[in-house]
Structure 1
Amino acid sequence: MSENSFEKCTDSFVQWTVGNGGYTVSDKVKVIDYRNVGRGRAMVAVEDVAEGETLFEIPRGSILNVNTSALTRDYPSFGTSQLGEWEELILCMLYEMFVLGENSRWYPYFNVLPSSAELNSLIYWSDRELGLLKPSFVIERIGRGKSQEMFSKVLSYIENQDSDLSLIAKYLTWENFVYVASIIMSYSFDVEDLNPQSDEDDEIEDDDNDSEMSPDKSIKSMIPLADTLNSDTHLCNANLMYDKETLKMTAIKPIRAGEEVFNIYGEHPNSEILRRYGYVEWKGSKYDFAELPLEKLTDGVISHFKMQDQQLLRMIFDIIGKNDTINQIAEGENIILDTYDCYRDGQTLVEAILLLQTVCIIYQIPDILKASEEELTKNVERSFAKCYQLIQSGRITRQCLKAWEKSIELRISDYPSHANRELTPQTNITDITTLRDAMAHVVLQGEVEALRSCRLALRSNYKVIEDSKLLNNILKRKANSAEEDDRDGKRQKQ
């Protein structure tokens, strides 16, 4: 898009917000061209803004959703389609953008949305480009299969309509579907729905129109201007607030003249920011994390203890997963997960440490490989209970720490060597291949940094004790239990 065209679309859109849109926009902010730093349009303070000030206010009737779209107005039966909120908003957007076009109320808004060629969400990446993200698990969350299922569902719905609603069919191509769905994923908000469809199964009807909305009643919506704000997990200084009649973008801290206004799209790591929104935070997201697969956790144990036979490990996992006593101790929480999150700040899921500590101490029980199934079950129950108490008290054993460090090392070794090097790219990269290569690098770099942080943090997050202390406690209890069983047996004989 040429500079003149870009500015013309921006001016037209801003005029629309305060005209047809009915917005109230503070004179202290302005939408500007930030393409020179790779952020497209942005909102910037032109005067100092105090904490709590409203930057702009949006009438609920000016946001785009199934309640406000012309599709529902022109075809009332669509309002009872029984489609999901994603499918409904996709059809509303297709109708407004392609069927109505310039006649759509939101036409000036559509002109400032990026084209498909400008989107970098992962569904647009080639297989080669996605390969750059290995071994990040974000690749498994792209959801192409689910997108195709949704496309087939929407297409079937349209083709089975008797009304002129079928005129959308000519625009319902896979390319248009992916484009609109990507725009919705990148720019939509979940807004409290003040006019939810009543469910036939509702047992209680609330006739008080002034009552507060239930937080689970929301509707997926496009909010022009609110989605112009860029997001930064470190620099967020404004949030969208909701009331009955309007939505207000409010400063949550002072914003100085010349500073950009940032919202936050969620507490997402860079991998998820890239998947959903098609960009990355070049200095890393505040919420970056890596995923440690269960197999790496177990590989760390096997490597550390130099035990090649995995039969014992499988039996331990089977007992932990099915044992009622262990389930009660864990309060119903699953301990054995496919992956365990390791965060940039050094925090990790306690389930990973509990599982690792339990396995490590069981491996040190004398003659454990010769134990019968019943004996092994009792050993696992006792060990899990003691390890649970140990972890709750903020302690781990030395062998658990070493096995954890080995597991992390093995996971880091999955990453390409360049993920260990810091990348500070130019923020105005225009070549799409270079840009995607750089974004993939930053995602992997953030995950490696998170793994390193968790490797080091375990020493400071937990007090390290010798394994003999925990092992003696378990074996002592085992001996006491055996003596009690022996006494019970003698009493029965008498």
Structure 2
Amino acid sequence: MASNTQHEPTPVEQSFLNWFESTGGYLSPDVSLHDFTLQGMGRGMKSNKRLERDALLFSIPRYMLLGTRTSTLPSRAIAADEKAASLEAQTNPHLFTWQSLSGGWTQLLLVMLWEHFRSTAEGGAALNDSLAPRGSMDDEQDNAGGSVGPSWGPYFDILPRNFDTPMFWDRQELQDLEGTTVREKIGLAEAQLAYRTQLLPYIHAHPDLFVGSKASANARQVESLISTYYSEELFHRMGSAVLSRSFHVNLPGQGGLEEVGEAEDGMEVEDDEDEDEEDGEGEGEENINDVCMVPMADMLNARFESDNARTFYHQDVLEMRTTQVVEAGEQLLNTYGDPPNCDLIRRYGYVDEPNGADVAELPATTLVDALLSLEGLTSTTAVHETRRADLLSRLGWTISIGFDEVHALAYLFPLSQEAPFEPTPLSPTERELRSAAASISDELLAQARVLIMSPETLEKLKKKDKLPSSRIEAREFVDGQSRGVAEIIARAIELRLEVYPTTLQDNRATLYASLSTHKRLAPLSARRRNALVVRSGEQSVLMDNLRVLKAADEASRKLEKGQGVTSEKRKDASESAGHKKSKR
């Protein structure tokens, strides 16, 4: 939606714009910062005129990026560690070092805190820093007495001071996320542990490094500075800024004009890497040195499948360019990769409606619970425990050969573009249901079939290095009972839906009550509304999959009945089911 209103920069915004250009950045006169609060998006960037595809919006030298490669704290910390080690190695063998902070984002967050302190009048004087730029990001680290790069003060000033991510919600607000996968991924406990057991002890071990000349003051004054500029509250704020606004920027020299990627999550305290890994990084882990803040690039908002600008990098600069024609007054939107709302709310504190990328997680163990439920076995019997142990063993085998422990279910039908944003069509035909069933994960189907087949059939598959076929209509006949793959997964989804404290219908009634009653109701708080959108999105995905699976189960029962398969034929068919194990 285009905005023709003019927005006068606030003093903080003007200070940031002045800093950006005076430090070496370029901002096109064809774009400007704008307040999109009425659109529910806060500060963003808009076009002042029609922009053609590949128009340059702004560029930023690499030395203006804020991270472990552009700050001199890492080199200063390493120098301080070496000095301390020579003095204390014999008396303190467990001395905290910069390298000991390598798990997760601890080093990056400490850089953020140190640079924030350095950007203040008190911190700048205490650290006695020079403001000379360092040059490109691939320069060697400066020694402790070298130049220290730009001061990012105006950039820190424009960063949000308050976040709507669940990290900052109270207990009552978090209850609205009950049943979703968000609560277990917030990472507050892990962040607190990193701060209290790693970051804070390291700061106390090197007061001269973190408070500069103030380290010679009395202990009470030193502690006051640390509690002000290196507080846990500020640590969480910086962590949320990194989580929601950082970019993954590779070192230069890789050739060509390449797109900048987003930083992956890294708030958690990571386990030590395996000793046999040559490069010191676990498989799939990002290099924390590649994660940095990119001033101006993080001013752009994002919306599901609506991006019209992307960030690219050259040898010495990063550029933001349009990827399509942008009309005058239109908001410029970057991409977050179209994540589901459960990720959007956790990382950025907002949700998209509708969001066709929503997912619902289905733990593989729920398949076990589903089969036990269908067999009528309760947890109070010994038979239940024996049967459960057998099913978990089968499940463990599938996981050992590469199957997922948790399945991410996605929408099988497109969403309507009007509230309540339901998968359409509401009443699909049999043909449409069969077509949608083809999108259900083969691994999920095969995993369910492993659970329902006879022990003899399973052993034959293992010996012949075979996997069961992943047909959704597959059925197994064991001990006089026929069970279907779709039947098991459908029951698992029903059990997953029972975890939520309210139904999908209840949530939609709360979210969109005014649409049906035409009455002005008390508005929901932003956090409660976002939580209900996340919850209803997961439930909607589950219900969408459930209707397809129930249709498939009904079709498989009709097929079985129509074929008139005898018990012996069912058994023979079950034992011969399977196909060669594919390379994974």
Q: Give the TM-score of the pair, scaled to structure 1.
A: 0.76
Specify the SS of the correspondent of 1:234: coil
Q: Is the 8 A contact 2:35 2:44 kept in 1?
A: yes
- Which residue of structure 2 aligns with residue 292 of structure 1? 362
- Which residue of structure 1 aligns with residue 106 of structure 2? 87
Q: Which residue identity does 1:186 align to in structure 2? A: S
Distance 1:78 1:250 in 2: 42
- Which residue of structure 2 aligns with residue 174 of structure 1? 232
Please state if 1:11 is matched with 2:40.
no
Distance 2:541 2:200 in 1: 42
Please state if 1:320 is matched with 2:378.
no
Higher helix share: 1
- Would the alpha carbon gap of residues 358 and 78 (structure 1) be closer, same or farther in structure 2, given more than 3 Å must change? same
- Which residue of structure 2 aligns with residue 419 of structure 1? 507
Q: Which residue identity does 2:110 align to in structure 1? A: L
- Which residue of structure 2 aligns with residue 371 of structure 1? none
Specify the SS of the correspondent of 1:340: strand
- Would the alpha carbon gap of residues 98 and 4 (structure 1) be closer, same or farther in structure 2, given more than 3 Å must change? farther
Q: Is the 8 A contact 1:29 1:46 kept in 2?
A: yes
Paired residues, number = 436
Query: Deviations 1:425-465 (Å, cap 9, x if unpaired)?
Result: 99xxxx99811111111110111111122223447999954
Q: Give the TM-score of the pair, scaled to structure 2.
A: 0.65
Query: Deviations 1:310-352 (Å, cap 9, x if unpaired)?
Result: 34642443442465xxx6xx882135x2x32111346554333
CA RMSD after TM alignment: 4.0
Specify the SS of the correspondent of 2:484: helix
Please state if 1:333 is matched with 2:402.
yes
Please state if 1:46 is matched with 2:48.
yes
- Which residue of structure 2 aligns with residue 279 of structure 1? 350
Q: Which residue identity does 2:496 align to in structure 1? A: R
Q: Which moved more, 1:87-96 or 1:57-66?
A: 87-96
Find the partner of 1:355 among 447, 450, 455.
447
Specify the SS of the correspondent of 2:327: coil
- Which residue of structure 1 aligns with residue 533 of structure 2? 442
Distance 2:318 2:291 in 1: 14
Q: Which residue identity does 1:160 align to in structure 2? A: A
Distance 1:5 1:480 in 2: 74
Specify the SS of the correspondent of 2:10: helix
Q: Is the 8 A contact 2:395 2:447 kept in 1?
A: no
Find the partner of 1:378 among 456, 467, 471.
456
Q: Which residue identity does 1:93 align to in structure 2? A: M
Map 1:37-436 onto structure 2 (within 5 A): 37-69=39-71, 71-72=73-74, 77=79, 81-82=98-99, 83-84=101-102, 86-101=105-120, 105-115=151-161, 118-151=162-195, 152-161=197-206, 163-166=208-211, 169-170=226-227, 171-194=229-252, 218-281=289-352, 283-308=353-378, 309-311=383-385, 313-321=387-395, 332-334=401-403, 337=405, 339-345=406-412, 347-359=439-451, 361-362=452-453, 377-382=455-460, 388-391=467-470, 395-397=473-475, 399-415=484-500, 416-417=502-503, 418-421=506-509, 423=511, 434-436=525-527
Specify the SS of the correspondent of 2:295: coil
Specify the SS of the correspondent of 1:271: helix
Q: Is the 8 A contact 2:26 2:59 kept in 1?
A: yes
- Would the alpha carbon gap of residues 263 and 475 (structure 1) be closer, same or farther in structure 2, given more than 3 Å must change? same
Specify the SS of the correspondent of 1:221: strand
Query: Deviations 1:81-136 (Å, cap 9, x if unpaired)?
Result: 21326222212221222343155721111121111xx2111111111111110101
- Tell me the percent identity: 25
Q: What stretches of structure 1 of length at least 5 have no aligned partner?
A: 205-214, 363-375, 482-494
- Would the alpha carbon gap of residues 146 and 228 (structure 1) be closer, same or farther in structure 2, given more than 3 Å must change? same
Specify the SS of the correspondent of 2:105: helix
Distance 1:241 1:462 in 2: 49
Distance 2:575 2:329 in 1: 72
**Residue 424 of structure 1, CA deviation:** 5.3
- Would the alpha carbon gap of residues 472 and 31 (structure 1) be closer, same or farther in structure 2, given more than 3 Å must change? farther
Q: What stretches of structure 2 of length at least 5 have no aligned partner?
A: 1-5, 82-96, 125-149, 213-224, 255-275, 280-285, 414-438, 476-482, 515-521, 578-584
Q: Is the 8 A contact 1:237 1:262 kept in 2?
A: yes
Distance 2:181 2:70 in 1: 38
